[in-house]
Structure 1
Amino acid sequence: MTFVVGENCIKCKHTDCVEVCPVDCFYEGPNFLVIHPDECIDCALCEPECPVEAIYSEDELPEGQEVFLELNEELADLWPNITEMKESPADADKWDGVEGKLQYLER
């Protein structure tokens, strides 16, 4: 099993989760983070660290966000690994909780 970064991370991209990951399985895109499913050890340390509650166990993905399991796997193979916390986007709070953000995902 793996953890999955879901829709609410888009344009929020807080990196608190990266700091606690013992296996460095986070990868960073322009406005979104993903978890590499083959590297995640299902430790659950990242989930409570996400200030916008965008990380889920794969079996607890909210209805309608199943596509993010595939996106995490696909994009983790393309994007660079991130191992240290960075400053969040200046407008991250504005995007927290906005629905339909998949259209804003930058690859």
Structure 2
Amino acid sequence: LVEIESHFDNYRPLAETNPGGPQNGEFYGLGVHTLDQIISLFGRPDHVSYDLRSLRNKANPDDTFEAQLFYGDMKAIVKTSHLVQIDYPKFIVHGHKGSFVKYGID
């Protein structure tokens, strides 16, 4: 396994002003669940980087995030956005012998 991407996108382009703390954003609201899936599979990462942004309404907590978890030579990417309107794969997995793409939620 070389790389795995996990996406959980929910198209909602409009956002009323609803300020709150970081715990009210998508990273803490949804991200903890998608990150938990990766950590349950691969354990504690060697290194983590992340990007949290509020793209729909700057007054609100984050509505878009990407976290990259590194496990030796393997990278796991977890992403969520409210601006992705296309049917994007839930999982994209790449290995030395091939790739796998999974659409939809089971």
Structure with a larger share of its residues in helix: 1
TM (norm. structure 1) is 0.30
Relative to its length, the structure with more strand (as a share) is: 2
Greater relative CO, 1 or 2 (CA 8 Å, sep 6+): 1
Q: TM-score, normalised by structure 2?
A: 0.30
